[in-house]
Amino acid sequence: MTKGFFLTGPPGSGKTTLIMKAARFLRDAGCRIAGLTAPEIRAEGRRLGFDLCDIECRRRWPLARIGCLGVTRVGRYGVCREAEEAAVYLVEALSISDIIVIDEIGPMELALPGLKRAIIEVLQGERPIIGVVHRKLRYRHPDIYSLVQRLGPIIWVSREAREEAEAKIVENARVLAYEICGNKGG
C-alpha cells in the first residue's frame, strides 16, 4: 500500500502549485483531504512572510513575517508563535481525512516545538501523506527526513523538469486514489 509522496526542489519551482493540484485530483476522486498549506503573504510585489492555513483556507495562522520577533529567525523572517495553534488542527486532520497534505515541512514549521511534534505524529501515523519538504531537510533534520523517505518517493521539481515531475505526481496521485479511496481515481 502506498503511504504517499513528497515534492522538493528550489524556491519558485512550483512545488506548492503541484501539490495542491494533486490534492484537488484526490478530492475529485472521492478522497477526504485535510492538512496545511503555507501561502506567501505579499504586498506591493514584495514577499512579507507566510501563513499556515487549513486546506480550504478557512482557518489561518501567521507562520513567519519580516519584522516578527517570534521564536527564532529563518533567513529574514521571524517565526510567529501563533502558528503553534495549527498543530492542533493538523492532529485533528488525522481523524477527518483519508489523506493528509502538508505544505511544507521546512525550517519555519519545524522551529515551532508543538508543530514539529504534530508533523512527526502525522508522519508516524497510519494516514497517507502528500507534501512538500524543504530541499535541505535531509541535512537540517535527518531524523524527520528519514521518516519522510519511508513513506514514499520524494520527487524533485525544477522549472526545467516540471513537466516530467508533474507526470510522476499525477501517476502517484492516481495510485493513491485507487488504493485509498477505491477505483474513483480512474
Is residue 186 one of the residues assigned to a domain?
Answer: no
**Looking at residue 147, what is its pLDDT?**
94
Global pTM? Answer: 0.90
**Measured distance between the N- and C-terminal CA atoms of the chain, rounded to whole angstroms:** 17
- Count up the domains in the chain and report the number: 1
**Looking at residue 162, what is its pLDDT?**
87
**Looking at residue 1, what is its pLDDT?**
62
In CATH, what number is assigned to the domain containing residue 77?
A: 3.40.50.300
Query: Residue 20: which residues within 8 A CB-CB, separation 6 or more?
Result: 37, 101, 103
Helices 113-124 and 142-151 sit at what angle, rounded to 10 degrees? Answer: 30
| Low-confidence spans in the chain with pLDDT less than 70 | 1-2, 183-186
Residue type, 32: R
Is residue 164 one of the residues assigned to a domain?
Answer: yes
Is residue 77 one of the residues assigned to a domain?
Answer: yes
What is the rounded CA–CA span in Å between residue 120 and residue 166?
Answer: 27
**Looking at residue 184, what is its pLDDT?**
45
Q: Each residue of 50-101: pLDDT tens digit?
A: 999 999 888 999 999 998 887 889 989 999 999 999 999 998 888 899 999 9
Domain that holds residue 91: 4-181
Is residue 139 one of the residues assigned to a domain?
Answer: yes
**Looking at residue 185, what is its pLDDT?**
45
